[in-house]
Amino acid sequence: MNLDNIRIVLVNTSHPGNIGGAARAMKNMGLRNLYLVAPHKFPHEEANWRAASAGDVLEQATVTATLPEAIADCQFVLGTSARERRIPWPLLDARGCAGEVAQRCANEQVAIVFGREDRGLTNEELQLCNLHLNIPTSADYSSLNLAMAVQIVCYEIRMVWAQGDLPVQADEQWDTPFATQENMERFYAHLEETLVALEFLDPAAPRQLMARLRRLYGRVRLDEMELNILRGILTETGKSLQRSRGDDA
């Protein structure tokens, strides 16, 4: 289990104190890779104060303008979700998340994405994730501070790490690296373009088709060779459509 392959990603964090608290939570549990997507206030003295002795985590934090930039080179992405979605996604609790992360992070870049304090992640952002993570809370008071949520997830990862060597999983012996998020996004754009050309997808009434296809491929997890095969099929489909329409002209 390689903790250096795990990154914590905070999206549009409003309060700099939460960034510092998250950094402290990470360092407590042996994690160091913090990514900040368009934070409202950073750097900030309150972040430094809340981080306490985890100032090095803040200093080394990577700041990006968008979530796709923050996870572009990741092969496995989990997104936190506090509510049910129109299209249900594979859902884990923090302990289940830690188990999945432990099996992936030996050879893959893994991201755990936390959303805004007031409204979490958008549906579009959650569709960038392979799995969704939910931390069960009391119905009497379900609001969970961002830094506390990070602490819970990092603690569960630490507990798995403390168990020592894990049994080898099939994915660890895979012959080709799994596709990065950046390459998957290129595939989704290519797929949508082809489906529109085939008139299978109506852009005016998409009916959640692309969201469901994202869920399908995110659940299966393509490797780079499989992705190249599918991209090749899409390319040849496009060429065939062009030839067919040329013959009909």
Reported as a single tens digit per residue, the pLDDT across 165-196 is: 655 555 556 778 999 999 999 999 999 999 99
Whether residue 201 is predicted with pLDDT greater than 90 in this model: the reply is: yes
CATH of domain 3-171: 3.40.1280.10
- Angle in degrees, 0-180, between the axes of helices 181-197 and 209-220, rounded to the nearest 10: 140
Give the span between the Cα atoms of 34 and 189, in whole angstroms. 28
- The pLDDT assigned to 86 comes to 63
Q: Which residue(s) pair with 131 in the sheet?
A: 78
pTM of the model: 0.87
Q: 3-171 and 174-248: same fold?
A: no
CATH 1.10.8.590 fits 174-248, yes or no: yes
Question: Is the CB of residue 212 less than 8 Å from the CB of residue 87?
Answer: yes
Give the span between the Cα atoms of 7 and 241, in whole angstroms. 42
- The pLDDT assigned to 41 comes to 94
Give the span between the Cα atoms of 207 and 203, in whole angstroms. 9
Domain ranges in the chain? Answer: 3-171, 174-248
pLDDT-derived band of residue 10, with 50, 70 and 90 as boundaries? very high
- Per-residue pLDDT of 99-146, as tens digits, reads 999 989 988 999 999 999 988 999 899 999 999 999 988 888 878 899
Whether residue 54 is predicted with pLDDT greater than 60 in this model: the reply is: yes
Whether residue 89 is predicted with pLDDT greater than 80 in this model: the reply is: no
- The pLDDT assigned to 174 comes to 74
- The pLDDT assigned to 84 comes to 57
Q: What is the DSSP code string of 122-170?
A: -HHHHTT-SEEE-----TT-----HHHHHHHHHHHHHHHHHT-PPPPPG
